[in-house]
């Protein structure tokens, strides 16, 4: 086979191009993906996505895809063109990836293959394939990136106006389009929810037609998460074919799962084109967000583990992955470099004051909380809402990011110092994209919010959304936050965003596509966080949005963790966390232990249960510690110490969801250390449901021939026994009982 191949290291990802055949084969750890040119280079056809195959297999696939079927010309499947990235133009009725309008009013794309580049950088191989419109100045570069050691394929596209004179209006631009192989039926799994009930697993059978998941809210949303999983209806937690995808975007997005008239399934997704279009000036480029996909034969569990490991190794906090923004906030887009590969540091045990104090924060009150927090083993102390000027309730203050002198007469300095003396780092809450009408900022700049001249400015939680697409707003926010982080020794920022957009107008830009703000808001948000991270490298970030309203690959590229939900009821969290871990790594899943009865549900739960549920992710405490008894403190201190012991396994290991409370009385997660030397089991019993007999949990991911000992009891078992007969759990546990079992492999 002639052609170009980059990769070749054993077990490494590689991309090979057979120039003569016009095909590309992308090989990942155990899977492969292929496509090829058709129609004399006027189309790029999808060929394959499944288990790893040798290069010889690809040419045959292309021949099949090209074969002419004259007698079938009028059948819908003869019109079917599984284009890698679907340009709108010609006889085409399925969901397009790209739709543009040229200056003379032409609205159809006809393009031709114009070259390709393959490069290797930092353990990743990237293919860029150029398509140029045959009559107009538009070049579209389809990018594909595969990573050594992973089955994740990351895709994105870059649009370029290569002309000198005319703008091009982009009306729909998806990040990528994924074709699934033919199967008799499909099952779509996705995550839906609302405030206090995020990441609930939903299933649907995508039949003929379209199944659309989207956000039109300007932010990722609680309602749906930009993640999907598709399987032929036969996958289980630990077996079966699964294809999954997740989109790196934190604004309005859309995923369309469509069964074409010929019965083929494809999923396109990216920016939501609703109410949006963007002008591409001569010489300008638009880098679209990335959309990652993977295939596995190991069921939902293997798909999740792949996402978790890849996110940890290649996504979390890696900075700019999306390109560019407003002139002052970004230069022209550079190539998107492969992210640095490393394992993120372990997340500290955090305390957050919100449920304890609400807006009633004070120097003394926070110090008292900090003293108890330090005693029980907390490592990072975070002051939530209420610390800044005018913020005694949620009617005022947002926008004025200076310390409330009434609450902190000498600024935050003394509290930050005290927290440091107690051996903890200091963190703070902000909600930069928002403003209360009752604030100095709004009084000075009422035109800085999204609005239409003659329409109501709808308030939500008494606040309005700042138009981040405006460079003056971006400057103000960057400077306010830079000042805050430059003053005191702040090491953690909880970046909140508590309302969706409404009346998304930008009157000053009337006639100059003000609706581009839907996209530019998010790109500016990314740019501001990227710039702050660069200027303050010791500061960690958490993404929050009224709980879990902004969790996606895009924001994960610039934060260390996310706030999972404002619902801190540990029983409700079991389901929320099961959904969350389908798509995102447990290490980023912030989970607080809060008071009982729970402020939201009124449910009373034992402290140990609340801890054992929160220990399934990144542990935090959000209780009013002043009210705790000595016994509570002692129990919490013991559990936090235990968490620190299991933390490397929970945060850096492989997650096996052993039992789901959706299916029975017991929920359980097992984590296996990356080197297999240790495993942790967390099990939680639901209300009033007792199983007959003594419950056993069949463990996963262990070596059959190794022995594992429980350091707490000394009991040791063979891996084969734990996998076949299961781990025996305490008898009689029910009604919010819970256990934590640690197993250490006995080497030698
Ligand atoms: C949102 C967050 C909470 C808290 C409040 C503060 O609701 O999700 O955790 O920070 O805002 O106003």
pLDDT digits (tens, 9 = 90+) for 459-472: 999 999 999 999 99
State whether residue 294 is helix, strand or coil: strand
Phi, psi dihedrals of residue 214, rounded to the nearest 5°: -160, 165
Residue 6's CB is within 10 A of a number of other CB atoms, namely 17
The active-site residue, picked from 496, 530, 569, 595, is 496
Q: Quote the pLDDT of residue 655.
A: 98
Cis peptide before 597 (omega within 30 of 0): yes
3-state secondary structure 403-431: ECCCCCCCCCHHHHHHHHHCCCEEEEEEC
pLDDT tens, position by position, 177-196: 999 999 999 999 999 999 99
- CA 736 to ligand 1 centroid distance, Å: 27
Helix axes 363-376, 413-421, angle to 10 degrees: 20
User: Does 320 sit in the ligand 1 pocket, CB within 6 Å?
Assistant: no
Q: Quote the pLDDT of residue 118.
A: 98
259-268 as b/e, with b when 16 or more CB fall inside 10 Å?
A: bbeeebbbbb
Q: How confident is the model at residue 732 (pLDDT cuts 50, 70, 90)?
A: low
Higher pLDDT, 584 or 530: 584
197-223 as b/e, with b when 16 or more CB fall inside 10 Å?
A: bbbbbeeeebeeeebebbbbbbbbbbb
Active site residue 166: no
pLDDT tens, position by position, 331-343: 444 567 788 877 8
Least confident of 323-327, 385-389, 682-686, 736-740: 323-327
pLDDT tens, position by position, 208-245: 999 999 999 999 999 999 999 999 999 999 999 999 99
Q: Quote the pLDDT of residue 341.
A: 79
- CA 74 to ligand 1 centroid distance, Å: 58
Q: How far apart are CA 555 and CA 523, in angstroms?
A: 11
Q: Quote the pLDDT of residue 326.
A: 37
Edge-to-edge strand ranges of the sheet holding 23-27: 4-6, 14-18, 23-27, 31-38, 43-51
Q: Quote the pLDDT of residue 324.
A: 33
State whether residue 561 is helix, strand or coil: strand
Q: Quote the pLDDT of residue 102.
A: 98
State whether residue 59 is helix, strand or coil: helix
- Identify the structural domains of the chain with CATH numbers, from first to last: 4-314 (2.70.98.60), 350-563 (3.20.20.70), 666-746 (2.60.40.1180)
Q: How confident is the model at residue 6 (pLDDT cuts 50, 70, 90)?
A: low
The secondary structure of 72-131 as a DSSP string is GTTSHHHH---BSS-BS-SS--S--SEEEE-TTS-----EEEEEEEEEEETTEEEEEEEE
Q: How far apart are CA 59 and CA 552, in angstroms?
A: 37
- CA 496 to ligand 1 centroid distance, Å: 7
Beta bridge partners of 495: 430, 543
pLDDT tens, position by position, 280-332: 999 999 999 999 999 999 999 999 999 999 999 999 987 654 433 333 454 44
Quick one: average pLDDT of 719-739?
89
- For the record, the structure tokens of 742 come out as 């640690």
Quick one: average pLDDT of 693-702?
88
Higher pLDDT, 657 or 331: 657
User: Does 592 sit in the ligand 1 pocket, CB within 6 Å?
Assistant: no
Q: How far apart are CA 429 and CA 357, in angstroms?
A: 13
Q: How confident is the model at residue 9 (pLDDT cuts 50, 70, 90)?
A: very low
Classify 386 in phi/psi space as left (phi over 0), alpha (psi -120 to 50) or beta.
left
How do beta strands 14-18 and 23-27 pair?
antiparallel
Atom 12 of ligand 1: nearest residue by CA position: 385
Q: How far apart are CA 493 and CA 21, in angstroms?
A: 52
Residue 689's CB is within 10 A of a number of other CB atoms, namely 12
Q: How far apart are CA 480 and CA 470, in angstroms?
A: 16
Atom 6 of ligand 1: nearest residue by CA position: 385
Residue 713's CB is within 10 A of a number of other CB atoms, namely 8
User: Does 354 sit in the ligand 1 pocket, CB within 6 Å?
Assistant: yes
Please report, for residues 473, 475, 513, 690, the alpha-carbon distance to residue 328 in angstroms, rounded to integers and kept in the order given. Answer: 11, 9, 18, 62
Q: How far apart are CA 338 and CA 145, in angstroms?
A: 8
State whether residue 499 is helix, strand or coil: coil
Q: How far apart are CA 363 and CA 415, in angstroms?
A: 6
3-state secondary structure 633-659: HHHHHHHHHHHHHHHHHHHHCEEEEEE
Higher pLDDT, 260 or 694: 260
Least confident of 110-114, 439-443, 528-532: 528-532
pLDDT tens, position by position, 43-80: 999 999 999 999 888 878 877 766 555 555 555 555 67
- CA 382 to ligand 1 centroid distance, Å: 12
User: Is the pLDDT at 687 greater than 70, yes or no?
Assistant: yes
Rg (CA), the chain: 26
Q: Quote the pLDDT of residue 662.
A: 92
Q: How far apart are CA 187 and CA 203, in angstroms?
A: 7
Residue 373's CB is within 10 A of a number of other CB atoms, namely 28
Q: How far apart are CA 550 and CA 543, in angstroms?
A: 7
User: Does 355 sit in the ligand 1 pocket, CB within 6 Å?
Assistant: no
- State the maximum Cα–Cα separation within the chain, in Å, rounded to a whole number: 85
Atom 7 of ligand 1: nearest residue by CA position: 546
User: Does 563 sit in the ligand 1 pocket, CB within 6 Å?
Assistant: yes
User: Is the pLDDT at 4 greater than 70, yes or no?
Assistant: no
Q: Quote the pLDDT of residue 106.
A: 98
- CA 441 to ligand 1 centroid distance, Å: 21
Residue owning tokens 């051996």: 423
Residue 180 is given by DSSP the state: P
Q: Quote the pLDDT of residue 340.
A: 80
Question: What is the model's pTM?
Answer: 0.96
CB 273 within 8 A of CB 171: yes
Active site residue 735: no
User: Is the pLDDT at 730 greater than 90, yes or no?
Assistant: no
- For the record, the structure tokens of 498 come out as 């508590």
Q: How far apart are CA 432 and CA 435, in angstroms?
A: 8
Residue 234 is given by DSSP the state: -
Task: Return mean pLDDT, the chain.
Answer: 93
CB 142 within 8 A of CB 84: yes
User: Does 429 sit in the ligand 1 pocket, CB within 6 Å?
Assistant: yes
CB 595 within 8 A of CB 355: yes
User: Is the pLDDT at 393 greater than 80, yes or no?
Assistant: yes
Residue 51: its H or E element: strand 43-51
Q: How confident is the model at residue 689 (pLDDT cuts 50, 70, 90)?
A: low
Please report, for residues 173, 179, 273, the alpha-carbon distance to residue 255 in angstroms, rounded to integers and kept in the order given. Answer: 12, 13, 11
User: Is the pLDDT at 692 greater than 50, yes or no?
Assistant: yes
User: Does 498 sit in the ligand 1 pocket, CB within 6 Å?
Assistant: yes
């Amino acid at each position: 086979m002639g052609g170009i191949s980059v990769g070749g290291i054993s077990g490494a990802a590689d991309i090979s191009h057979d120039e003569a055949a016009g095909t590309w084969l992308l090989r990942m750890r155990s899977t492969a993906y292929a496509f090829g040119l058709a129609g004399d280079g006027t189309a790029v056809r999808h060929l394959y996505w499944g288990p790893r195959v040798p290069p010889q297999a690809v040419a045959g696939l292309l021949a099949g895809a090209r074969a002419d079927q004259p007698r079938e010309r009028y059948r819908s499947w003869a019109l079917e063109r599984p284009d890698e990235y679907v340009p709108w133009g010609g006889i085409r009725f399925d969901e397009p990836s790209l739709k543009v309008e040229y200056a003379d009013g032409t609205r159809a794309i006809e393009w031709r293959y114009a070259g390709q580049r393959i490069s290797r950088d930092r353990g990743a191989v990237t293919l860029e394939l150029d398509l140029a419109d045959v009559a107009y100045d538009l070049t579209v570069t389809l990018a594909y990136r595969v990573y050594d050691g992973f089955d994740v394929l990351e895709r994105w596209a870059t649009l370029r106006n290569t002309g000198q004179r005319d703008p091009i209006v982009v009306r729909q631009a998806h990040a990528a389009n994924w074709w699934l192989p033919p199967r008799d039926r499909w099952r779509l799994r996705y995550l839906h929810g609302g405030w206090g009930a995020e990441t609930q697993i939903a299933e649907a059978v995508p039949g003929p037609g379209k199944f659309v998941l989207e956000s039109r809210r300007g932010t990722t949303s609680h309602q749906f998460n930009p993640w999907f999983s598709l399987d032929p209806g036969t996958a289980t937690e630990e077996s079966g074919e699964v294809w999954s995808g997740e989109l790196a975007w934190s604004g309005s997005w859309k995923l369309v799962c469509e069964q074409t008239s010929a019965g083929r399934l494809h999923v396109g997704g990216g920016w939501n084109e609703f109410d949006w279009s963007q002008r591409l000036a001569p010489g300008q480029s638009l880098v679209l967000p990335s959309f990652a996909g993977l295939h596995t034969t190991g069921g939902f569990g293997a798909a999740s583990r792949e996402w978790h490991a890849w996110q940890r190794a290649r996504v979390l906090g890696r900075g700019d992955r999306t390109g560019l923004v407003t002139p002052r906030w970004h230069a022209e887009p550079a190539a998107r470099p492969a992210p640095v590969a490393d394992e993120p540091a372990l997340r500290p045990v955090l305390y957050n004051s919100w449920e304890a104090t609400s807006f009633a924060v004070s120097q003394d009150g926070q110090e008292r909380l900090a003293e108890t927090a330090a005693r029980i083993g907390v490592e990072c102390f975070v002051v939530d809402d209420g610390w800044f000027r005018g913020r005694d309730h949620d009617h005022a203050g947002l926008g004025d990011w200076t310390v409330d002198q009434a609450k902190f007469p000498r600024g935050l300095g003394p509290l930050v110092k005290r927290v440091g003396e107690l051996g903890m780092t200091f963190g703070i809450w902000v909600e930069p994209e928002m403003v209360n009408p009752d604030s100095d900022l709004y009084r000075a700049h009422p035109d800085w919010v999204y609005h239409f001249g003659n329409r109501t400015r709808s308030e939500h939680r008494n606040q309005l959304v700042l138009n981040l697409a405006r460079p003056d707003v971006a400057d103000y926010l960057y400077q306010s936050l830079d000042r805050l982080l430059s003053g005191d020794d702040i090491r953690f920022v909880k970046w909140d965003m508590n309302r969706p957009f409404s009346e998304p107008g930008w009157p000053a830009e009337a006639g100059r596509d003000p609706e581009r703000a839907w996209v530019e808001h998010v790109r500016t948000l990314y740019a501001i966080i990227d710039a702050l991270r660069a200027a303050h490298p010791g500061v960690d970030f958490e993404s929050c949005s009224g709980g879990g309203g902004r969790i996606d690959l895009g924001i994960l590229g610039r934060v260390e963790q996310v706030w999972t939900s404002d619902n801190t009821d540990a029983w409700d969290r079991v389901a929320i966390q099961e959904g969350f871990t389908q798509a995102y790594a447990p290490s980023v899943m912030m989970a607080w232990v809060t008071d009982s009865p729970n402020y939201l549900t009124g449910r009373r739960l034992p402290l140990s249960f609340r801890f054992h549920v929160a220990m399934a992710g990144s542990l935090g405490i959000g209780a009013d510690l002043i009210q705790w008894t000595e016994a509570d403190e002692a129990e919490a201190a013991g559990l936090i110490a235990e968490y620190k012991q299991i933390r490397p396994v929970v945060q850096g290991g492989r997650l096996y969801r052993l039992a789901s409370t959706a299916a029975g009385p017991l929920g359980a997660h097992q984590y296996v250390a990356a080197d297999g030397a240790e495993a942790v089991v967390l099990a939680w019993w639901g209300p009033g449901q007792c199983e007959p007999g003594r419950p056993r949990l069949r463990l996963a991911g262990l070596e059959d021939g190794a022995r594992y000992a429980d350091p707490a009891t000394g009991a040791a078992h063979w891996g084969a026994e734990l996998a076949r007969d299961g781990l025996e759990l305490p008898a009689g546990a029910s009604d919010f009982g819970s256990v934590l079992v640690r197993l250490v492999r006995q080497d030698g």
